Amino acid sequence: MEVLNVDIKYAGYLDRSRIIEDIYFTLNNGEMVGIIGPNGAGKSTTIKAILGLLPVIEGDIQLGEQNKNYGYVPEQPILYNELTLWEHLEIAAAAFQMGRQIFMERSEELLKKFHLQEVKHHFPSNFSKGMQQKVMLILGFLIQPDVYIVDEPFIGLDPQGTKEFMSLLNTEKARGVGILLSTHQLDIAERICDSIVLVNNGKMVASGNIEQFRKYCNLPDGSLFDCFNLILENEA
């Protein structure tokens, strides 16, 4: 079942209304769609448009009728200086009216998975970038939303954190949620994404699964990295 439909004719700001153009794709239950592209291509802007954070947007963005909430993990951690990690979790749980027992079980499970049990009463504002990123992921996964929208989640994560995060993604896919993931990690995108949207210069230039990318590029054994570079070379 379709959980997100994106049809952006153009979007941007009052002084630059066409930062992104002609971006369209769908996200289904139990599916992961990856948005890839070079720096400044429009990946994060596309996510902002989907979230309704841009003042100018022409097009149509629809969350499936059965979806009541979504979890958003931004590229840069957003945390309160005066709150401990545990207090961040409690606020998130309260906002979504999560039962206390479920909250306790889910929080402890996630803290253990990301190896942050020992610092749950510490202030995340003093954590390293990688630890702060883990806090944001825990907050996103805590509420178990219907759709995940995650922007560059692997930045700052150590190999163990990356492994645990990918494990959680697979668990949530099996639960039937839709996951939209923006990333520079092409090898990971190739491994875990069901389909890929390639954005360059603010426009979608290719989309499909890895086999479709290989066929489009005439690279039968090519990696997503190979296809990515060939498409961008042809765009230049």
End-to-end CA distance of the chain: 37
50, containing H or E segment: helix 43-50
Q: What are the tokens at 79?
A: 């945390």
132 has a pLDDT exceeding 70: yes
| Distance (Å, whole) CA 89 – CA 9 | 37
1-68+146-236 CATH fold = Rossmann fold (3.40.50)
Per-residue pLDDT tens for 48-104?
A: 999 999 999 999 999 766 556 888 999 889 999 999 999 999 999 999 899 999 999
Looking at the chain, the whole-number percentage of residues with pLDDT higher than 70 is 97
Sign for the pseudo-dihedral over CA of 126, 129, 130, 134: positive
User: Average pLDDT, whole number, for the chain?
Assistant: 94
Rg (CA), the chain: 18
Q: What are the tokens at 182?
A: 């923006």
Mean pLDDT score, 188-208: 96
| Distance (Å, whole) CA 125 – CA 143 | 22
Q: Which residues contact 219 (CB under 8 A, 6 or more apart)?
A: 226, 227, 230
Helix (H, G, I), strand (E, B) or coil at 3: strand
Closest CA to 169 of 186, 187, 154: 154
pTM of the model as a whole: 0.92
pLDDT at 23: 97
45 has a pLDDT exceeding 80: yes
pLDDT at 63: 79
205 has a pLDDT exceeding 90: yes
Count other C-beta atoms under 10 Å from residue 199's C-beta: 22
pLDDT at 226: 97
User: How is the chain split into domains, by residue range?
Assistant: 1-68+146-236, 77-145
pLDDT at 65: 62
Write b or e for each residue in 47-69: b if 16 or more Cβ atoms lie within 10 A of its Cβ, otherwise e. Answer: bbbbeeebeebebeeebbeebee
CB 131 within 8 A of CB 124: yes
